[in-house]
Amino acid sequence: MPNIQLANNLRYLRKQCGLTQTTLSDMLNISRQAYSNYETSKRTPDLDSLLLLASFYQVNLDALVLKNLQHSDTSGILSEDPAPYALASEKKTGNTIYLSEEEIDMIIQYRTLSHENQQIITGFLRANSEV
């Protein structure tokens, strides 16, 4: 079932920001026609795309999908923290993953360690991982 409100919001936010469908389709790594289908309710974005768009426009996901952003007071709709997770890409599969602030901090700390200490941490993680 098409989500007409989502389509209207995507079109409205894009125009408010002065963006083209091509710009957004490039950001989402899809064709311009695929993005156009989002704005005409012929196709619904996948969850990864919705999260990326909500983060980009700094709106809550529920507001992006359900609320009429054209005719509402946007205070309370705009995210105070637009992205509780950072988007990353899994190297082996190319799948999108989401990193919390704590995970990002751990990566930054890991990178400051000596090579020897990085090997110790990596060995510990491999020995204790369920994967």
Quote the distance between the C-alpha of residue 85 and its chain's center: 8
What's the whole-number mean pLDDT along residues 69-88? 57
User: In which domain, by residue range, is 37 found?
Assistant: 4-71
25 and 62 in a single domain? The answer is yes
- Tokens 């993005």, located at residue: 35
Percent of the chain with pLDDT over 90: 45
Q: The domain that contains 21 carries what CATH number?
A: 1.10.260.40
- Would you say 90 and 97 are in contact if contact means Cβ atoms under 8 Å apart? yes
Provide the mean pLDDT of the chain: 84
- The reply to whether 125 and 66 lie within a common domain is no
pLDDT tens digit string along 26-70? 888 899 999 999 999 999 999 989 998 988 888 888 889 999 988
